[in-house]
């Protein structure tokens, strides 16, 4: 049975900087530790990130506060529907609060819920934005 969950953290950058990096091939690559990405800030555009491990489509883009994307990994079966992420960005005293709501995740795909967002996104993003010009 598909499941959903939310994760949140504070990143030392503005919502605009995070939004722009999330939707830029070069920015996405840099903020997640150097894994190749093909992504743009175009509504309904397809993307691949993490060297093709993740793919999806930009469903709703509201700069600089909200990104909604379909999302699937190479570990999904052909019968698994795409999951969906909603990324919310809000100003915070230390930068921006990022909240990711991940829904329609196929049963058994618990790695993102069990620390994957923190390890694969939030921690590298904190390091990148601490050093970013």
The CA angle 127-128-130, to the nearest 5 degrees, is 65
pTM recorded for the entire structure? 0.94
CATH code of the domain in which 79 resides: 3.30.530.20
For 19, 35, 60, 79, the CA distances from 66, given in Å and listed in that order, are 8, 23, 8, 29
Number of domains in the chain: 1
Which pLDDT score, from 0 to 100, does residue 24 have?
97
Tens of pLDDT, residues 69-119: 999 999 999 999 999 999 999 999 999 999 999 999 998 777 667 778 999
Tens of pLDDT, residues 31-53: 998 889 999 999 999 999 989 99
Please indicate whether residue 1 or residue 115 has the higher confidence score (pLDDT).
1
Pick from 3-7, 13-17, 95-99, 114-118: least confident:
114-118
The whole-number average pLDDT for the span 47-65 is 96
The whole-number average pLDDT for the span 11-25 is 98
Residues 83 and 72: beta-carbon distance below 8 Å: yes
The whole-number average pLDDT for the span 4-9 is 95
How far is 41 from 29, CA to CA, in rounded Å? Answer: 15
The pLDDT of residue 65 is above 90: yes
Which pLDDT score, from 0 to 100, does residue 35 have?
83
Residues 125 and 31: beta-carbon distance below 8 Å: yes
Which pLDDT score, from 0 to 100, does residue 133 have?
66
Range of the domain at 67: 3-131
Where do the H-state alpha helices sit in 23-109? 25-31
Tokens of 103: 């829904």
């Amino acid at each position: 049975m598909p499941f959903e969950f939310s994760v949140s953290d504070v990143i030392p950058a503005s919502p605009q900087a995070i939004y722009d990096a999330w939707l830029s091939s070069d920015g996405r690559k840099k903020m997640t530790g150097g894994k190749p990405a093909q992504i743009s800030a175009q509504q309904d555009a397809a993307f691949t990130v993490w060297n093709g491990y993740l793919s999806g489509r930009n469903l709703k883009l509201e700069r600089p506060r909200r990104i909604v994307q379909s999302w699937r990994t190479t570990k999904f079966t052909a019968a698994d529907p795409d999951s969906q992420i909603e990324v919310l960005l809000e100003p915070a005293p230390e930068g921006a609060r990022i909240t990711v709501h991940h829904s329609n995740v196929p049963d058994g795909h618990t790695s993102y819920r069990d620390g994957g967002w923190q390890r694969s996104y939030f921690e590298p993003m904190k390091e990148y934005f601490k050093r970013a010009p």
